[in-house]
Amino acid sequence: MIQADMHALFCASCNNSPTDIHGSWTFFPWHRAYLYYFERILGSLVNDINNFRLPYWDWENIRALPSAYVSPSGAGNSLWDASRDAGLAGGGNLPSGDGTHARIDFTGKKEPDRVADRRDTYVGQQVSILDNRGICQHSGLCTDTLAAVFRLTQDPWIDPNGANREEIIAAVKNCPSGALSYAIDSIECREEVDQVREPTITVSKDGPYRITGGIPLEDEQGKDEQRAQGSSREHYALCRCGQSKNKPFCSGMHWYVKFHEDKN
């Protein structure tokens, strides 16, 4: 019991503890130390501290419980647990997540106060720029590379006459979220914006998953995920921080919540 309490002491969702170790670098060493002492406590209880070992297996690669845990079933098997999930006990796979979604009350719904799904047209002399703010991932590539057209502090934020046609087309093609497109003589050039690329998922630094190459996206019912107005099917950005107001797509919230991931 004391060991269970010790575990809960460092888990916010178990105990409302201010010292939650989940989601930080301390997670792994803390659990390693916890298991080390847990093993020694059990070993001393059975008077075999030098030889007693907790059972474990390579669950990252072997997703089902090893047969030793489930067969034979019943009290004769010390690895058998009658309260274990029936699917697991029957040979099913471990859940794919680590439980974080429950801990942070994750919801995949779109928020009512998200930026509207609306495409605006900025008519220029050589080229018109089409923009849906609802799916911009705030990568800043457009404002960084063509600040005379994509203007951070002015209204309207896009000036389609601020650069020549080639420069604008290059910047639009570089937009990773699919928020931008362009039109010439009132005809949208979505096919020119979308590139022929190998299907690829890129983890962006402290930002969303960037999808390129037209990877299909299905909802939980297996139906084609509903897309925003005018968005690209070839490239789009999926939320990684969990805070998007327009899930499953990135809405730029990672920037506001200062999402940070040490690994990338």
- Does the protein bind ligand FES through residue 163 (CB under 6 A)? no
- Does the protein bind ligand FES through residue 139 (CB under 6 A)? no
Provide the 10 A C-beta neighbour count for residue 186.
8
Q: Which is nearer to ligand FES, 127 or 135 (CB)?
A: 135
Residues in contact with ligand SF4 by the rule CB under 6 A: 136-142, 175-177, 179-180
Q: In the complex, what is the shortest distance from the CB of residue 96 to ligand FES, in angstroms, rounded to a whole number?
A: 19
Contact 145, 171 (CB under 8 A): yes
Residue 253 interacts, among ligand FES, ligand SF4, none and using kind-specific CB cut-offs from 5 to 8 Å, with ligand FES
Q: Which is nearer to ligand SF4, 138 or 245 (CB)?
A: 138
Rounded Cα distance, 151 and 57, in Å? 55
Q: In the complex, what is the shortest distance from the CB of residue 129 to ligand SF4, in angstroms, rounded to a whole number?
A: 10
Contact 245, 111 (CB under 8 A): yes
Residue of the chain from 128, 132, 137, 232 that contacts ligand FES (CB under 6 A): 137
Q: What are the tokens at 92? A: 């099913």
Burial 56-66 (b: 16+ CB within 10 A, else e): eeeeeeeeebe
Single-letter amino acid code for the residue at 9? L
CB-hemisphere CA count at 13 Å for 209?
13
Residues from 170 through 229 that contact ligand FES (CB under 6 A) = 207-208
* Residue-wise DSSP of 31-89: HHHHHHHHHHHHHHHTT-TTT-------TTT--BPPHHHHSS-STT-TT--TTS-HHHH
Residue 140 interacts, among ligand SF4, ligand FES, none and using kind-specific CB cut-offs from 5 to 8 Å, with ligand SF4
- Does the protein bind ligand FES through residue 231 (CB under 6 A)? no
Contact 253, 243 (CB under 8 A): yes
Q: Which is nearer to ligand FES, 180 or 239 (CB)?
A: 239
Residue of the chain from 142, 158, 211, 253 that contacts ligand FES (CB under 6 A): 253
Residue 250 interacts, among ligand FES, ligand SF4, none and using kind-specific CB cut-offs from 5 to 8 Å, with ligand FES
Q: In the complex, what is the shortest distance from the CB of residue 244 to ligand FES, in angstroms, rounded to a whole number?
A: 4
Q: Which is nearer to ligand SF4, 175 or 211 (CB)?
A: 175
Contact 186, 128 (CB under 8 A): yes
Q: In the complex, what is the shortest distance from the CB of residue 46 to ligand FES, in angstroms, rounded to a whole number?
A: 48
- Which helix (H) or strand (E) segment is 15 a member of? helix 12-15
Residues that bind ligand FES (CB under 6 A): 137, 207-208, 239-241, 243-244, 250-254
